[in-house]
């Protein structure tokens, strides 16, 4: 099963969106120095393994790709923000490091 794919640039995100078709994309917007982000990282990896056949899981490091997050409504760096994207449009958002709540959000969409 796949691991979350790193998105290193705006161009990478645009290519992913243009080739995703009707696939659900779950994007984690994070920073490496965020304690809550590192706390949920193993659970997000497990969810990518578990639900990877039903969605594409990606990670967007805000320190490297700071120009992407405003269009997805990501405003905080003290907690990870997960954005659910379908057909290029954000359809849902989850912020925080509660793995059970994140998985419930994923289950609503896959």
> In which domain, by residue range, is 83 found?
5-109
CB-based contact 73:29 (threshold 8 Å)? no
- Please give the tally of structural domains in the chain: 1
Over the chain (110 residues), the average pLDDT of each successive run of 10 is 85 92 94 93 96 95 84 86 95 95 95
What CATH code is carried by the domain that includes residue 72? 3.40.30.10
Phi and psi at 2, nearest 5°, equal -80, 150
Give the HSE-up count for residue 88: Cα atoms under 13 Å, Cβ half-sphere.
6
CA neighbor of 22 nearest in space, from 53, 55, 50? 55
Q: Which residues are catalytic?
A: 34, 37
> What is the bridge-based pairing of β-strands 55-61 and 24-30?
parallel
């Amino acid at each position: 099963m796949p691991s979350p794919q790193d998105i290193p640039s705006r161009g990478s995100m645009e290519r992913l969106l243009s080739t995703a078709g009707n696939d659900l994309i779950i994007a984690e917007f994070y920073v490496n120095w965020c304690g809550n982000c590192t706390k949920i990282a193993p659970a997000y990896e497990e969810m990518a393994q578990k639900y990877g056949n039903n969605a594409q899981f990606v990670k967007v490091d805000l320190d490297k790709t700071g120009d992407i997050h405003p269009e997805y409504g990501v405003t905080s760096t003290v907690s990870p923000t997960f954005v659910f994207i379908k057909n290029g449009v954000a359809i849902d958002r989850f912020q925080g490091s509660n793995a059970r709540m994140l998985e419930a959000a994923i289950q609503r969409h896959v």
